Structure 1
């Protein structure tokens, strides 16, 4: 469940709020070739991840039974979100057709996992009225929707260093962060440097 209670002062754009944590926890479940393992590989793995998340705050509604088909749907939703986060980082490979497909998938997800507006004296929040795995997906979409209304949706990004693509919250003052860590930024800089060196060595000698 993602809340947007009225009253308290708005958080700093450099503060990671619970909605951001929900989104990043969901997208940072993929294998990256650098040691992180796929956590949505099958229904059992997906259910184990959900159980672990619910130990921290019960955001997904308690124990959930998940099938292999549910895990596949989770991967599809996650990968669509990662494509959007890469677009936030200006990654060229995530633009064009890839971005259109991701946005279309998320529109379909919005119809499959609708949200309900919950109004109380303390504020207003979006929540999934469904149960089980649909509630999980709805909760992720509620977190995205609620945070996007703050105007800082573009600060949730995916690292431009392939194959990392780790989701992160850009805390820079002007929102210009492109990498999840200085290590990833250094790797990209070194690759670019070596590429320029190779191009220079391939150039024909001057007459």
Structure 2
């Protein structure tokens, strides 16, 4: 999470920086209607997920209450990522609630600046589960400072809402895959057909 020097180019939209990987790994733990299962359902499942992620320092003692806090943080971040995609679920009151929650989380898990000869980075001074949440917040902050936060989005195809890095040149990507884009287009096409089929026919 090293800070980029002023005037230097940020990460290319065709690459996936470690900070993006950290955020996407955290937000893409939700169950959906296409077979993905909930990975933060309880303390055991949250601990199993953490044990597979090197950036979170491996195995950590986790409670069901910790898993609930993780779900709340994750869902607030997903709402913000939906806002990046312009989705209605990520706008208005839902976005305001998510941002208020993230401010509270930021005060509970403060970050520290680590300065070395090679640069400076944000890191969590805490250990255990608080360190996990701090690491996620540090990744988000670094992305925001580099100008890449807006390219981290959630798919607009409900109920997918899978987090992804928008690699398009103009930053206009809305879906995590062409499959999700096709599903949305097909649903719109069917709605238009139903509206057209319900109209009275002329003799």
Superposed pair shares fold, TM > 0.5: yes
The normalised TM-score by structure 1 is 0.93
Q: CA deviation at 1:95?
A: 0.8
Structure 1 stretches of 4+ moved >3 Å: 5-10
Unpaired stretches in structure 2, ≥5 consecutive residues: none
Paired residues of 2:3 and 2:146 also in contact (CA < 8 A) = no
Distance across 2 between alignment mates of 1:94 and 1:123: 35
Q: CA deviation at 1:9?
A: 5.4
Partner of 1:104: 100
Distance across 2 between alignment mates of 1:101 and 1:30: 19
Which runs of structure 2 are paired with 1:55-66 in the superposition (5 Å)?
59-66=55-62
Which runs of structure 2 are paired with 1:93-172 in the superposition (5 Å)?
93-172=89-168
Unpaired stretches in structure 1, ≥5 consecutive residues: none
Aligned residues: 202
CA RMSD of aligned residues (A): 1.5
Paired residues of 1:6 and 1:122 also in contact (CA < 8 A) = no
Paired residues of 1:61 and 1:135 also in contact (CA < 8 A) = no
Distance across 2 between alignment mates of 1:89 and 1:97: 16
Instruction: Give the structure, 1 or 2, with the largest relative contact order (CA under 8 Å, sep 6 or more).
Output: 1
Q: CA deviation at 1:202?
A: 1.3
Distance across 2 between alignment mates of 1:93 and 1:131: 33
Distance across 2 between alignment mates of 1:74 and 1:171: 27
The normalised TM-score by structure 2 is 0.95
Q: CA deviation at 1:4?
A: 2.4
Q: CA deviation at 1:152?
A: 1.7
Pairing 1:182–2:181 present: no
Report the 3-state secondary structure (helix = DSSP H, G, I; strand = E; otherwise coil) of the residue aligned with 1:100.
helix
